Structure 1
Amino acid sequence: MALLSTTPMLEKAKADNHGIVAFNVHSFDSIFWVLEAAAELKSPVILQTTVGTVKSLGPKNIVQVAKAASEHYDIPTGLHLDHCTDFEVIKEAIRAGYTSVMIDASMHPFEENVTRTKEVIQLAKSLGVNVEAELGKVGGVEDDIVVADEDAQKAVPEECKQFVEMTGVPTLAPAIGTAHGIYKGKPDIDFDRIAAIAEMVDVPLVLHGGSAVPDADVRRCVSLGMAKVNVSTELKNAYSEAIRHHFAAKPDSLDPRAYLQKAKDAAKEMAKSKIRMVGSEGKVVPAFV
């Protein structure tokens, strides 16, 4: 199956009241085990890369590997560039074959965010590439983007409505109290704000900072209109911790096949738990095949 635009994927998820997990992948092998996990649960899935990963692995290489993996596992798969502030990197990703991109201009005033988002939509729309934008500021660290807790700002519902109307953006990531990375305390999710935003806009919403949020809270977010749920840190940590435990127990066991298999198994189980969490298990339907 070819890589798909995430626009129809997320619109269908929103209509069917379930989510789709967007997993950050940081290596070529992680593309395969994320799709393997999704295929075993018959779930659509989104592969997601940061700008740092794009620069490390190369956008054309990522697209070719993602295409090969999606054809092998034959499930609905999107490929998304996350939190990009550089228009040239976005253009490069689209040219390479990404099916979704995020222009993050949330650090700028509202009017400039609108202008930058419309510029990306003008480029992407004719090619069927999904565009995601952010309003408010999600706290934490995402690649090179750092937002201190005191600088995090929740999105204003009325501005979300105005933003979607002015830009035509097909997916919106409003800041609603989550943060990138692992939380130091309990996530302060503003469910009433999500409901208010979903009432005012028709497009699927995106939950950033999905790692370590209690499953019940994520399900509630999905029920309120969050169709895309981003997961990065927990997946990366599960993989790395498995390797750490391997060498702690067997410091002389240096065969990569041994420790990488353990890492893959741990990360796959984590991915499956997140897929079940958003309710997308078994949602691969003939219309996508």
Structure 2
Amino acid sequence: MSLLNFNDILRIAQERQFKAIGSFNLHCIEMLPAYFRAAKKTNSPLMIQISTGTAQYLGYKLLVDSVCSLAESENVPTCLHLDHCTDINAIETAMNAGFTSVMYDGSHLSIDDNIANTRIVVEMARPKNITVEGELGAIGGSEDGKAVADEDITITTVEDAVRFVHETQVDMLAVSVGTVHGLYTGKAQIRHERLTAISKATGTPLVLHGGTGVSDEDMRLAVTEGINKVNVGTEMNVQWVGQCKTTFEKGKVNDSVRKFLIPANEAVTQVLMEKIALFK
């Protein structure tokens, strides 16, 4: 089974009565089978997203080959997405390796420079049938070593979103509407009216970053207001590390490593299933 791009995955998800698709950060290769188990149990297509740090750690080709193999053997429609990349050369590497979706994150730039660079990526992607995500506005918190302080958070405006989508022709747009990267001990405050207004004005699938800190109620509402892709990463990582700390502490040095990882992977599968259920 070939990997699919975001547009293909969203269409399949909607055919299966989902309003949005979850895009789940993969932190290490050992986690990967847990993602496919969750997708199969929920009859959901699967979008796996990779940070540039993880891609460099594991290798772009290993990730593509591993995801392709599981997508085929498990018969799960799957998209492999490069997340939050600021390096156009790294995006090109991912495209050439077989990633089917990429994100250029120019949110730290002026809107003019963000549009210009995002447009370059879109022009690279179109001949390869690869979808492109852009980001407009600054989302707080930290992810993969990149942090945005509270005073630097910028909420996306409707006017800027319309201009950005029109001039870049991105397939989906990540917006800053109150969520926070890495938040798992508090509650994000989504600006629902702004979200709805951006969706109506752009007519483009919107992306919610910082999905871990969003309440179930807000999540169900957001996917009716134009959010078609929800990024979740921190919660899986927290559960995986927590389980591993417990099992490694209790284990013996001659135990098989898999015994330490199985409970962690089971916890990750459960997190994915709970999140996917919110996207209907």
Structure 1 residue 230 corresponds to structure 2 residue 231: yes
Residue matched to 2:43: 42
Residue matched to 1:123: 124
Task: Name the CA distance, whole Å, in 2 between partners of 1:247 and 1:55.
Answer: 26
How far residue 158 of structure 1 moved from its aligned partner, in angstroms, is 1.3
Residue matched to 1:195: 196
Does the CA-based 8 Å contact 1:11-1:203 persist in structure 2? no
One-letter code aligned to 2:156: A
One-letter code aligned to 1:77: T
Matches within 5 A, 1:39-188: 39-183=40-184, 185-188=186-189
Residue matched to 1:283: none
Structure-2 change in CA distance of 1:12 and 1:150 (3 Å): farther
TM-score by length of 2: 0.95
Residue matched to 1:244: 245
Of 157-166 and 6-15, the range deviating more from structure 2: 6-15
Does the CA-based 8 Å contact 2:185-2:213 persist in structure 1? no
Does the CA-based 8 Å contact 2:115-2:168 persist in structure 1? yes
What do the CA deviations read for 1:234-269 (whole angstroms, capped 9, x no partner)?
Answer: 011111111122244x24374312111111111111
Task: Name the CA distance, whole Å, in 2 between partners of 1:140 and 1:147.
Answer: 5
Secondary structure of 2:207's counterpart equals strand
How far residue 271 of structure 1 moved from its aligned partner, in angstroms, is 1.0
Task: Name the CA distance, whole Å, in 2 between partners of 1:173 and 1:17.
Answer: 19
Question: 4+ residue runs of structure 1 moved beyond 4 angstroms?
Answer: 11-17
Secondary structure of 2:81's counterpart equals strand
Residue matched to 2:6: 6
Structure-2 change in CA distance of 1:257 and 1:231 (3 Å): same
Does the CA-based 8 Å contact 2:205-2:227 persist in structure 1? yes
Contiguous gaps of at least 5 residues in structure 2: none
How far residue 6 of structure 1 moved from its aligned partner, in angstroms, is 0.9
Secondary structure of 2:138's counterpart equals coil
Task: Name the CA distance, whole Å, in 1 between partners of 2:13 and 2:191.
Answer: 22
Secondary structure of 2:181's counterpart equals coil
- Aligned-residue Cα RMSD (Å) equals 1.6
How far residue 183 of structure 1 moved from its aligned partner, in angstroms, is 4.8
How far residue 184 of structure 1 moved from its aligned partner, in angstroms, is 5.4
Instruction: Quote the sequence identity (%).
Output: 37
